Amino acid sequence: MPLIMASNTPTHHGLLELPTAGLFRRLAAGFYDALVLLALWLTTTTLWLLARHGEAIVPDGSLLYHCYQLSLLLVAFAFFVGFWGSAGCTLGMQAWRLKLIRSDGRRLRWRDAAARFLAAPTAWLPLGIGVFWSLVDRDHLAWHDRLSGTRLIVKRH
């Protein structure tokens, strides 16, 4: 009678066996998150306007304008990396039952989340081709999944 050997590779609660998220779920979760991010950016802009007594920040290349732009980028970084690093999903991802894991099935570390955030523009900037790449990729991964060593999975109910 043959012995059944356990694999030396941990599956971390079977997460590697869960399906990779399809394009529709990715885009739907992204839309939800875009709404949350827009609200955060509006709040940030309101704080800037209050600090300037209602005076607009014009795109004139000044240090003030660049500081404002940097604050919006930092808010986006804090939102995505904060949620990915602590819970493995954003609010939009949670609504669509998605979770980010490392490609080895383990939980994301903060540096994995930061790497994914920094890799995301490569997938979105060339007309989203890196996101649509998931339709033809053998593992259904987008460019920022591959670059950051992460995988977006669909959780069970």
Q: What's the chain's average pLDDT?
A: 91
Q: Is 126 or 1 the better-scoring residue by pLDDT?
A: 126
This prediction's pTM: 0.87
- Dump pLDDT digits (tens) for 43-72: 999 999 999 999 999 999 999 999 999 999
Neighbours of 61 (CB within 10 A): 8
Q: Which residues pair with 152 in a beta bridge?
A: 100
Q: Is the pLDDT of residue 11 over 80?
A: no
**pLDDT score for 6:** 42
Report residue 76's pLDDT band, with 50, 70 and 90 as the boundaries. Answer: very high
DSSP per residue over 88-132, as a string? Answer: SS-HHHHHTTEEEEETTSPBPPHHHHHHHHHHHHHHHTTTTHHHH
Report residue 156's pLDDT band, with 50, 70 and 90 as the boundaries. Answer: confident
**pLDDT score for 13:** 62
Question: Domain coordinates of the chain in residue numbers?
Answer: 20-154
The beta strand positions in the chain, using DSSP E, are 98-102, 150-154
Q: Is the pLDDT of residue 7 over 80?
A: no
- Dump pLDDT digits (tens) for 97-135: 999 999 999 999 999 999 999 999 999 998 999 999 999
Separation of alpha carbons 123 and 34, rounded Å: 16
